[in-house]
Amino acid sequence: MTRKTATGKQSVAIVGAGSLASFLAPALVQAGYTITEIIARGRSQSQARARALAAKIGARAVTLPTAALDAGLLWFCVPDRAIGGAAAALANKMASSFATRTRPAPRFAFHSSGALLSGELNALRKAGVEAASVHPLMTFVPGARPSLEGVPFALEGDVAARKLARRIVANLGSESFLLPGRRKAAYHAWATMTSPLLLAYLVTLEEAAQEAGLSRGNARRLSLPIIRQTLENYRSLGPQHSFSGPFIRGDAETVAKHLALLKKRPTTRAVYVALALAALAGLPVKNRKALRRVLGD
């Protein structure tokens, strides 16, 4: 027996009260799901976040000892290093709390790590819970308010849990795709390049702009129009037809000048060279031999 709300949708308990939980829980409520409780650590800061989130969505803020575990789905929104331990602790609580009770225990459990497999939830699997990793390909940071609509979710795990995850993701207005467990590390490398390492590139872009006499703040402001247009071109035209600049012209002399200037900033220069070599490998570059020579390849 699974516990569903009057809408026929699975009730959910959120484990954790950090950035992901603060975005996911309201989105689930807006999609018609009932959040029964926010389960957080006993630390005062964690509890304060849990109370604020619970008040916002009409749930209870609890700790592990006081958790009712009265939802059909446990959704872990905790740091990767804490997933296995939290799952084991909840499995132990279920074993002690539900042994003498007639109401059903949670049937499903998700975690939202991009790097880890659903095996982190094996302690709950042993208690009869169907488990899956359900990772949104989106960045969640304090101060930002991204929408989950249209965000792709990578799914891996038990068949029944994946089926439920697909339904929930669809209700969120998002899309999902299946990810074999053996591909999870490669997926996370890709995901890391989509945002954290993209920001690392943008930081090196600011350093290059400083050589032109710009402050970092001005570099960000003045770079945004061309960055936005490049992303729009990438979306609508694809990379091959969005490529411009000295490489598509085969202008080795200009590239040599860039590299000479960037000798003062070796990290920025190394990023430039790495990206230039990537362009030679995958984009319509002219005068490849001369460019390779200039790049030291």
Same domain, residue pair 61 and 154? yes
Cα–Cα distance measured from residue 93 to residue 218, given in angstroms and rounded to the nearest whole number:
54
Same domain, residue pair 158 and 33? yes
DSSP summary character for residue 3: -
Is 290 part of any domain? yes
- b/e per residue 72-99 (b: at least 16 CB within 10 A): bbbbbbbeeebbbebbbbbbebbeeeee
Is 1 part of any domain? no
C-alpha 99: how far from chain center? 36
Same domain, residue pair 81 and 218? no
SS3 for 152?
A: strand
User: For position 103, what pLDDT does the model report?
Assistant: 60
Q: What is the pLDDT of residues 228-273, one digit of tens each?
A: 999 999 999 999 999 999 999 999 999 999 999 999 999 999 999 9
Q: Which residues of the chain have pLDDT under 70?
A: 1-7, 98-104
User: For position 1, what pLDDT does the model report?
Assistant: 39
Nearest to 173 by CA among 204, 189, 149, 195: 149
Where a domain ends, among 164, 184, 204?
A: 184
Range of the domain at 169: 12-184
Is 189 part of any domain? no
Q: How many domains does the chain have?
A: 2
User: For position 108, what pLDDT does the model report?
Assistant: 98
Same domain, residue pair 156 and 200? no
Q: What is the pLDDT of residues 135-158, one digit of tens each?
A: 999 999 988 888 999 999 999 999
Q: Is pTM beyond 0.85 here?
A: yes
Is 4 part of any domain? no
Q: What is the DSSP string of 162-189?
A: HHHHHHHHHHTT-EEEE--GGGHHHHHH
